[in-house]
């Protein structure tokens, strides 16, 4: 199936590309990786979005991991749209190695690039400083030595509901339990559950997300 789908990922028919990308994410074979990576830069938003969804399913394949360097390099593209699309892709892929490059882009004169980089950093870190490179640099100087899972647990204490919600959704999917934490719950209950989450990750120092 992957061999059959691969050429359709580059079809001149946009509907065919879109449907092929939706299918590619479920196949998880190296044959579809090239097409998915190209799809990340498709000029049609629905198609690049489908490519990002497929990429999240493929990201743990060794072949895909070996191509991540190429994707990070696109952050330095001369084309602002490619920089923006690369930032979005690296964000949904939770690529920690892209953080320095993304922080640099939050100071871009191109508003789309700066916003895309800030949103990507938000996806990766579950913190939110918008397109403010100095704020992100200060945060990362403190957080660089931490595991990503620690960033997510830290987000559970955020005043920002959206950050709390995205963090607990990701943690719950990984652990199969929210351990009594609800993003919209009373602050006292959230604090009690936060302490439990902190204890859990402290007991698993080698685990990360």
Summarised one tens digit per residue, pLDDT across range 10-24 is 999 999 999 999 999
- For the chain, what percent of residues have pLDDT higher than 70? 100
Q: Note the pTM of the prediction, 2 decimals.
A: 0.94
Distance CA 118, CA 112 (A): 10
- CA Rg value for the chain: 18
H helices of 93-186, in order, are 99-105, 111-125, 133-143, 148-155, 161-175
pLDDT tens column, 32-57: 999 999 999 999 999 999 999 999 99
Taking CA atoms, 96 is separated from 43, 58, 125, in Å, by: 26, 17, 8
How confident is the prediction for the chain on average, in pLDDT?
Answer: 97
Q: In this structure, what token pair is assigned to residue 97?
A: 């190695």
Cβ neighbours for 63, distance < 8 A, ≥ 6 positions apart: 30, 33
Q: 2 near 36, Cβ under 8 Å?
A: no
């Amino acid at each position: 199936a992957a061999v059959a789908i691969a050429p359709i990922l580059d079809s001149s028919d946009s509907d065919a590309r879109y449907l092929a990308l939706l299918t590619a994410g479920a196949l998880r074979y190296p044959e579809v990786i090239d097409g998915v990576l190209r799809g990340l830069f498709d000029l049609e938003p629905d198609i690049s979005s489908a490519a990002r969804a497929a990429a999240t399913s493929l990201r743990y394949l060794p072949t895909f991991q070996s191509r991540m360097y190429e994707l990070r390099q696109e952050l330095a593209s001369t084309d602002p749209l490619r920089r923006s699309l690369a930032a979005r892709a690296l964000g949904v892929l939770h690529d920690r190695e892209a953080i320095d490059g993304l922080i640099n882009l939050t100071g871009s004169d191109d508003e789309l690039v700066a916003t895309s980089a800030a949103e990507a950093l938000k996806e990766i870190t579950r913190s939110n400083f918008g397109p403010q490179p100095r704020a992100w640099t200060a945060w990362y100087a403190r957080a660089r030595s931490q595991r990503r899972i620690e960033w997510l647990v830290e987000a559970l204490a955020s005043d920002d509901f959206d950050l709390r919600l995205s963090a607990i959704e990701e943690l719950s999917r990984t652990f199969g339990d929210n351990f009594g934490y609800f993003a919209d719950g009373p602050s006292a209950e959230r604090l009690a559950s936060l302490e439990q989450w902190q204890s859990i990750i402290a007991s698993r120092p080698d685990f990360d997300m």
